[in-house]
Amino acid sequence: MENSDKTLEDIPNLTILKISSIIKNGDISGCTELILKNRNIEECEDLHEMKNLNKLDLSENKIKDLTMVEFNLNLRHIILQHNLIDTINCLNNIHNLIYLNLSYNKIKIIDNICQLKNLKTLIIAYNEIEKVPNLSNLQNLEVLILKNNNITTFIKPTKPMTQLKKISLSYNKLRQFPFGSHFINIHELRLNSNKLNSIEKDIIYMTSLKMIFIQNNFIMNYHFFEYLFELKQLKSIVMSNNPFCKTMDVQVLNNLIQKSRNITSINFTNVPTHKKFDIYPFDSSINDHPSNREWNKKNDNNHMTEQMVITKKKKKKKNVPNMDVDNSFISKKRRKCASEKGSKDMMTKKKKKKKED
């Protein structure tokens, strides 16, 4: 692209961008952010000259690899979603990177991610990933979003990931998940729409868990409830459309509910209509829970499902009469009554004396 007065909007078929050609003096070394979305860009020349670049957003283009960012060592945010990238390479030396979004690409292997030790947010949704490697090196990772891939294996971390707060693995092909103390600070775990057949006892070591989503799986046994109710921070369970919903022992669930002091919401579907729940201290209602709307739309109309959301009642405060009464007022009133009574007694005595005289 030669020097001209044209803007990028004037060049709809742009495929190779030479950044220095759109800067008046050609000096691009001071640029800290570059955002060029939906421009049909395939290559970005002289990007390596932008030594101070810390944010790059080239979403919705036609970029095929990451070689162009290899020498931008100060990058902290890379957003390259909706491109044609099939390999994660050339990022190992970008040690300052804290945010990486490569969603909607064609990535199958993510092993090289493990070198990004300062990474805090990793989003690689809607790709073709089949295996999640040991992520123990990512000790600063806080958010991991790998939903809508082809993941069948999630390797157990060999070291605790103490900073990790959220994991989203929805819409994959997982049959097992490595629950345990290595995820001790996880607040939100999304495993819905996989192929899970059980929830392991090691989930009791995920003591910070507040929300868990396990709907649309193949979980047969409902005894994992006992593990969930041991989690003191857990507030919400979504477990809709699992086989155990049809066979669960209602009395077992009732007993566990009575023992629970922290859980405020339980969501499930496919409950046989003849089964009754003693839902005190919960309220129950049929509800279109947001996490199940997509599944419900796809569901066969001939397959009747009932969805029940159980939410804990809030304890009502009893009306206690106000005891803060002005004692001085009471004293005055008592003195007045005593004075009036004394006056009446005196009048009675005088009348008696007159009669005697």
Residue 215 pLDDT > 80, yes or no? Answer: yes
> In this structure, are 166 and 89 located in the same domain?
no
State the alpha helices, DSSP H only, in 289-326.
Answer: 293-298
Rounded-to-integer distance, Cα 82 and Cα 234, Å: 35
- In whole angstroms, what is the distance from residue 111 CA to residue 91 CA? 12
Does residue 104 sit within a domain?
no
Residue 55 is given by DSSP the state E
Largest CA distance in the chain: 135
Instruction: Decide if 101 is inside a domain.
Output: no
Q: What is the dihedral of CA 47, 51, 55, 61, to 10 degrees?
A: 0
Q: Domain check: are 170 and 279 in the same one?
A: yes
Q: Average pLDDT, whole number, for the chain? A: 79
Instruction: Kindly state whether residue 218 falls inside one of the protein's structural domains.
Output: yes
Using one digit for the tens of pLDDT, what is the confidence trace for 95-144? 999 999 999 999 999 999 999 999 999 999 999 999 999 999 999 999 99
What percentage of the chain's residues is helix, strand, coil (to nearest 5)?
25, 15, 60
196/304: higher pLDDT: 196
Residues 283 and 198 occupy one common structural domain? yes
Do 87 and 187 fall into the same domain? no
Please report whether residue 271 resides in a domain.
yes
> Any bridge partners for residue 57, and if so which?
35, 79
Per-residue pLDDT at 299 exceeds 50: no
Residue ending a domain, among 56, 78, 93, is 93
| 88 and 171 part of one domain | no
Q: How many CA atoms lie within 13 A of 263 on its CB side?
A: 29
Query: 89 with 165, same domain?
Result: no
189 lies in the same domain as 276:
yes
Let me know if residue 165 belongs to a domain: yes
Q: Please write the tens of the pLDDT for every residue from 144-196.
A: 999 999 999 999 999 999 999 999 999 999 999 999 999 999 999 999 999 99
Of the ranges 239-253, 299-313, 329-343, the best mean pLDDT one: 239-253
Structure confidence at residue 252 as a pLDDT band (50, 70, 90): confident
Residue 197 CB burial class (10 angstroms; 0-12, 13-18, ≥19): middle
Q: Residue 295 belongs to what H/E stretch?
A: helix 293-298
Beta bridge partners of 123: 101, 145
Residues 179 and 277 in one domain: yes
Note down the domain range covering 20: 1-93
Last-in-domain residue among 35, 58, 93: 93
- Gap between the Cα atoms of 258 and 251, Å rounded: 11
Lowest-pLDDT choice from 45-59, 104-118, 332-346 = 332-346
Is the separation of the CB atoms in 75 and 95 below 8 Å?
Answer: no
Highest mean pLDDT among 9-13, 32-36, 276-280: 32-36
Q: Is 314 exposed, middle or buried (0-12, 13-18, 19+ CB in 10 A)?
A: exposed
Q: Measured between alpha carbons, how far is residue 321 from residues 14, 315, 316 in Å?
A: 77, 18, 15
The domain that holds 46 is classified in CATH as 3.80.10.10
Question: Is position 343 within any domain?
Answer: no
| Residue carrying the six token digits 């693995």 | 169
User: Is the predicted pLDDT of residue 6 greater than 50, yes or no?
Assistant: no
pLDDT for 247 equals 81
164 lies in a domain? yes
72's tokens: 């931008």
> What is the pLDDT, as a whole number, of residue 48?
83
Confidence check: pLDDT of 28 > 80: no
Supply the pLDDT for residue 255. 74
Question: Do residues 76 and 184 share a domain?
Answer: no
The domain boundary residue, chosen from 75, 93, 111 = 93
CA distance 135 to 111: 9
pLDDT at res. 281: 41
Q: Identify whether residues 283 and 164 lie together within a single domain.
A: yes
CB atoms within 10 A of CB 304: 9
pLDDT of residue 260: 74
Count the residues in the chain: 357
What global pTM score does this model have? Answer: 0.75
| Same domain? 175 vs 286 | yes
- DSSP strands (E only) in 77-182: 77-79, 99-101, 121-123, 131-132, 143-145, 153-154, 166-168
Confidence of residue 305 (pLDDT cuts 50, 70, 90): very low
pLDDT higher than threshold 80 for residue 319: no
How far, in Å, CA of 357 to CA of 354, rounded? 5
Q: How far apart are the first and last CA of the chain?
A: 134
Asked if the structure places residue 116 within a domain, the reply is no
User: What is the number of structural domains in the chain?
Assistant: 2
Percent of the chain residues past pLDDT 90, beyond the cut: 53
- 181 plus 67 within the same structural domain: no
